[in-house]
Structure 1
């Protein structure tokens, strides 16, 4: 898997996609690993009980998807509220202390390597164009045009978790009992490799590392839940 060519990367495009990427990949991976671990654990304990596997899988899929959606909404809402509050304070500061804000922008420009003369000239032009936006980006690290919508993040996580979780659930229910665990394990490994590859390609980051990280994490999770399920099955 060759590394992406850094000369052909649209950095603005990457930045715009990072929040959606985080929510989507996190949701899909959680769905795949959580539901796979759950159904494999139940299958290890009661391999012939399709009813128990179905009930556990559907319950885990539903609870996990809702948890991801609500958690993402609350998290992103808190972040969005904090960013909006900072922007409101920034607007107020520009009304009551414009000279101070200009000097602050001069210093911020100088920290990027500009001379004082160039930094001041740039600050004056930046302030004339959009003082709040430039201060938000340089001082607060916020892009006023890129504040994340919590609903978008919530539905992305919920949908991704559901799609990811359906794979192991359907696999373990549709294959013969003797092949339940190996078939589910194989399907999950392929899915995790694909999500790791897609995430890395979308974010223009190293693909091999992303794939290996996903596959190893999923393998460990399923091995642990299978072992626990087997122990419980023996005890029962």
Structure 2
């Protein structure tokens, strides 16, 4: 018996002693087990490489965490190497999902990759495999939580404009596709009229989205500005009666306790004693609510207009090429279906859910909405005819 086989049998014997009621030696692995272990080995090696690739582009604490995760995957890799012994064989390719994560790590960075890693770690096959140790199963469960935390950091850093772009494009896709199909369903309508309807729907929807976002962001900014301390107040604070300490009432009105309000007011008066003035940041108070970043209403409006318009343009495109109406409709349906699946997969990845299932859900919901509109168009066409 070779050294590799002896080491593997020792490992399997230890697992057997801890999990079985008798002391029978472990049986030699079957070809099916060997193939499964080889696949586990390939996946663990690839996942460790993914974590190292992610760490290469990070700094500080996140880099240390990612490198520690890579070390953990290397321990699992070594376990399967030991179990395989002389049956190590030629290196296998990792699973398709693991290869996708490696591709994302090199091309798109942390957020998308961690979102997929979160799904992969939470669906580890070790829990249902008697050949994996209980510690490895626990490791994978903890890894899922670590990745969940890292992915949450990435989502917080990701600009909200990206999410708004995805959802805006999706709204344009579904609403204008439904409009186009509804007009087609009425029957007997020239393709040029359908094209004009689609363009009108695209512009109307995009303008409505842009105007709505402008009003919403502008109103939010005005609300935030109304809640911030007035800068002119800092010029009159030095004239306040220190003994009356009415400044404390300002901080109490902002939610501080009596003691906290008095402490903050004392700090302001102490600064006045030193510099004969007070800055706006000190006046606001350390415990006051953190200022929210004011967004540009014009930028948000333009982004919403373009994203909605881009999505709404897709179902109209085939009608620009003077194709037979039915063929144009089929092409539009195919284009919208692909786009819906892409946006669904992206939202699934960002939310840490299986992207394929989210893509199918997005496709089904979008097509159902369009199908209902088409049916209503047919009913309307029959009623009018």
Query: What TM-score bracket applies, with the shorter chain setting the length?
Result: 0.7 to 0.9
Partner of 1:149: 296
Change (3 A) 1:233 1:164: same
Change (3 A) 1:133 1:176: farther
Given that 1:194 and 1:211 are in contact with CA atoms closer than 8 Å, whether structure 2 keeps it comes out as yes
Find the partner of 1:28 among 169, 172, 178: 169
Partner of 2:335: 187
Partner of 1:40: 181
Q: Report the Cα distance in structure 2 between the residues aligned to 1:91 and 1:105, rounded to whole angstroms.
A: 22
The answer to which structure, 1 or 2, has the higher relative contact order (CA under 8 A, 6+ apart) is 1
TM-score in terms of structure 1 length: 0.72
SS of the aligned residue for 1:148 comes to: coil
Aligned-pair CA distance for 1:65: 1.0
Within the alignment, does 1:230 sit opposite 2:383 as a pair? no
Change (3 A) 1:59 1:102: closer
Q: Report the Cα distance in structure 1 between the residues aligned to 2:248 and 2:354, rounded to whole angstroms.
A: 48
| Cα deviation digits, residues 37-80 of structure 1 (max 9, x gap) | 11111112236611111111111111111111111101111111
Structure 2: gaps of 5 or more residues = 1-96, 98-115, 119-146, 241-245, 268-278
Given that 2:183 and 2:189 are in contact with CA atoms closer than 8 Å, whether structure 1 keeps it comes out as no
Partner of 1:55: 196
Change (3 A) 1:188 1:49: same
**RMSD over equivalenced CA pairs, Å:** 3.9
Q: Report the Cα distance in structure 1 between the residues aligned to 2:158 and 2:300, rounded to whole angstroms.
A: 13
Q: Report the Cα distance in structure 2 between the residues aligned to 1:133 and 1:43, rounded to whole angstroms.
A: 61
Tell which deviates more after alignment, 45-54 or 170-179: 170-179
Q: Report the Cα distance in structure 2 between the residues aligned to 1:181 and 1:224, rounded to whole angstroms.
A: 16
Within the alignment, does 1:159 sit opposite 2:337 as a pair? no
Matches within 5 A, 1:61-100: 61-88=202-229, 98-99=247-248
Given that 1:39 and 1:57 are in contact with CA atoms closer than 8 Å, whether structure 2 keeps it comes out as yes
Higher Cα Rg, which structure = 2
Q: Report the Cα distance in structure 2 between the residues aligned to 1:130 and 1:205, rounded to whole angstroms.
A: 39
Find the partner of 1:6 among 148, 152, 159: 148
Aligned-pair CA distance for 1:22: 4.5
Tell which deviates more after alignment, 52-61 or 1-10: 1-10
Aligned-pair CA distance for 1:207: 5.4
